[in-house]
């Protein structure tokens, strides 16, 4: 076996290590100006006007299409539902399968009521019948 390879980490130690990782820095140069862009857009400024303002006041050259993409991506993330894995059930927290099956079998069964049906006869109007159309 190669001594340079580390043994695989246990899930608990891996989670502890991941908790200590520093947060990733933003990838976009626009991220520090997010609130400014948001406020300017709320006040009705176009992406072209925001781009011009960034160039004149902040010395930041950014295309209007880049601003549009930046806003669009963040708006999409806000609307998306957050999916999360459910918590893991511990083995002793649920009764054994045989006990659950016995409880299921002990439940009283509900008799399904006879369904009503529409019955069509050429010589009569359409009628609702519970006996399936038999006379």
- Could you report the per-residue pLDDT of 24-78, keeping only the tens digit for each? 887 888 988 988 998 898 889 999 999 999 999 999 999 999 999 888 888 766 5
Domain boundaries, the chain: 28-75
What are the respective helix, strand and coil percentages of the chain, to the nearest 5? 45, 5, 50
Q: Could you give the CA distance from residue 71 to residue 45 in angstroms, rounded to a whole number?
A: 13
Confidence of residue 113 (pLDDT cuts 50, 70, 90): low
Q: Could you give the CA distance from residue 49 to residue 1 in angstroms, rounded to a whole number?
A: 63
Q: What is the pTM of this model?
A: 0.45
Among residues 64, 63, 74, 69, the alpha carbon closest in space to that of 35 is found at 74
């Amino acid at each position: 076996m190669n001594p340079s390879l580390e043994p695989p980490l246990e899930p608990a130690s891996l989670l502890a290590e991941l908790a200590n990782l520093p947060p990733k820095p933003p990838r976009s140069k626009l991220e520090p100006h997010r609130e400014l862009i948001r406020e300017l857009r709320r006040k009705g400024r176009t992406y072209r006007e925001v781009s011009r303002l960034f160039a004149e006041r902040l010395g930041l050259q950014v295309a209007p299409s880049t601003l549009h993409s930046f806003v669009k991506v963040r708006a999409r993330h806000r609307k998306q539902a957050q999916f999360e894995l459910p918590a893991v059930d511990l083995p002793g927290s649920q009764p054994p399968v045989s006990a659950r099956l016995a409880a299921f079998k002990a439940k009283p069964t509900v008799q399904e009521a006879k369904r009503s049906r529409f019955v069509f006869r050429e010589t009569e109007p359409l009628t609702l019948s519970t006996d399936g159309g038999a006379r």
